[in-house]
């Protein structure tokens, strides 16, 4: 297996992008990534696009060919990768494996979703298909309800409070306010979160990530070639993926995501690192309880201590480990197919020292954590600035 590096990154503004379509956003993100490393189209060997539900949301399938066509890259092979909300992370892993194996020397990985053109009930239905459609969605268990069950159990077993969950939202909005690409660029208070309406108790409006449009892209190459294209290539030290039962009722635990734990263990072993070595992490906070569970399952804090860690500022920039400096899904937004790639873009910026007003001082090692559905898929990557 060859060592693999990210040499170029790019993304669009996340938000309610009424003036841009699905293909426009992905082409913009891809063009920015190519420009970031001065790469020309004829040098690209393959394209992988993470996207969850374009057929349901915008009526477009066959998105790999769409990208190759409208970026003027035919006949380069282009493939769609789908793993629900982990589609971006899975696309990144697919691209990584293609380069590491020697199958390709230059791969572009993109992620995209156009969500706001579709009525909210149809978006909820499309997203609900990422769980068990027959046993959950058909019975009325949407993702807010499913994560609310996790939250209730976490509160019961570990004493986690609604205020601690609210603190996740406050932190991530604060980080997003310093990110020009973020969906939400306003700070909020604990009071704002606590007074917002319940969506599915104990989760309130400000505990939930928004419906978002956006795209992100990265360029991958063998590490040995990377410095020809980038003065600051970022090596992918580890890429790991794991799965679990699709439906929540079939899981071993309601307060842990086994797929995250397994993927994280494999990634740490592959990188030769431990959780304490990570300086900055982008984790999957589709709901505030999800971030608390993630920082526990990734080994940053003991099980049951995640809420307290957030409350004490240990996950803030300048804390023990900076979590979701981009604003996370909660603040930066969650265009589902793009999220896993956006996480990689943010970590690259952090490791390059290019994260502007949200920079983590001395960041050397970064981690991304992307979840599909309510935890049936988890993808973890670990990265460092190449020596």
**Catalytic site positions:** 85, 334
Closest CA to 167 of 307, 3, 345, 272: 307
Closest CA to 280 of 223, 319, 232: 319
Look at strands 4-11 and 280-282 and give their pairing. unpaired
Query: Tokens at residue 344, please?
Result: 């990689």
Phi, psi at residue 376, to the nearest 5°? -75, -20
Is residue 130 within 8 A of residue 83, CB to CB? The reply is: no
Rounded Cα gap, residues 209 and 85, in angstroms: 12
Q: Please return the burial class of 197, using the count of CB atoms within 10 Å of its CB with bins 0-12, 13-18 and 19+.
A: exposed
Q: DSSP 3-state assignment of 366?
A: strand
Closest CA to 385 of 237, 270, 272: 237
Query: Tokens at residue 14, please?
Result: 């996340």
Q: DSSP 3-state assignment of 370?
A: strand
Instruction: Specify which residues 15 forms β-bridges with.
Output: 213
Is residue 244 within 8 A of residue 257, CB to CB? The reply is: yes
Query: Tokens at residue 314, please?
Result: 């240990």
Closest CA to 97 of 110, 109, 87, 86: 109
Question: C-alpha distances in angstroms, 332 versus 13, 84, 97, 359?
Answer: 9, 19, 28, 15
Rounded Cα gap, residues 236 and 245, in angstroms: 28
Rounded Cα gap, residues 151 and 154, in angstroms: 5
Rounded Cα gap, residues 357 and 183, in angstroms: 16
Q: DSSP 3-state assignment of 74?
A: coil
Instruction: Specify which residues 371 forms β-bridges with.
Output: 378
């Amino acid at each position: 297996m060859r060592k693999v590096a990210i040499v170029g990154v790019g993304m669009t503004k996340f938000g309610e992008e009424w003036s841009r379509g699905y293909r426009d956003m992905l082409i913009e993100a891809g063009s920015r990534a190519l420009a970031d490393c001065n790469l020309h189209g004829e040098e690209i060997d393959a394209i992988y696009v993470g996207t969850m539900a374009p057929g349901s949301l915008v009526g477009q399938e066959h998105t790999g060919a769409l990208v190759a066509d409208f970026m003027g890259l035919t006949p380069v092979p282009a493939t769609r990768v789908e793993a629900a909300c982990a589609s971006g992370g899975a696309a990144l892993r697919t691209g990584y494996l293609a380069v590491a194996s020697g199958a390709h020397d230059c791969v572009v990985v993109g992620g995209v979703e156009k969500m706001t053109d579709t009525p909210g009930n149809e978006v909820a239905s499309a997203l609900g298909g990422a769980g068990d459609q027959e046993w959950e969605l058909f019975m009325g268990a949407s993702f807010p309800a499913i994560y609310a069950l996790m939250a209730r159990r976490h509160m019961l077993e570990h004493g986690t409070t609604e205020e601690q969950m609210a603190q996740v939202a406050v932190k991530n909005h604060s980080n997003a306010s310093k990110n020009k690409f973020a969906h939400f660029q306003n700070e909020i208070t604990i009071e704002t979160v606590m007074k917002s309406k319940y969506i599915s108790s104990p989760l309130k409006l400000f505990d939930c990530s928004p419906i978002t449009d956006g795209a992100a892209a990265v360029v991958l190459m063998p590490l040995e070639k990377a410095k020809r294209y980038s003065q600051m290539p970022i090596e992918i030290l580890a890429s790991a993926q794991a799965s679990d039962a699709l439906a929540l009722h079939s899981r071993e635990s309601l307060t842990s995501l086994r797929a995250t734990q397994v993927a994280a263990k494999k990634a740490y072993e592959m990188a030769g690192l431990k959780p304490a070595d990570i300086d900055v992490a982008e984790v999957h906070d589709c709901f505030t309880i999800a971030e608390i569970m993630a920082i526990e399952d990734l080994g940053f804090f003991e099980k049951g201590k995640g809420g307290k860690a957030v409350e004490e500022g240990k996950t803030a920039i300048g804390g023990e480990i900076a979590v979701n400096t981009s604003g996370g899904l909660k603040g930066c937004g969650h265009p589902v197919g793009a999220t896993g790639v956006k996480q990689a873009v943010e970590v690259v910026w952090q490791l390059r020292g290019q994260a502007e007003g949200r920079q983590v001082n001395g960041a050397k090692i970064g981690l991304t954590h992307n979840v599909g559905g309510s935890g049936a898929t988890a993808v973890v990557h670990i990265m460092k600035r190449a020596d």
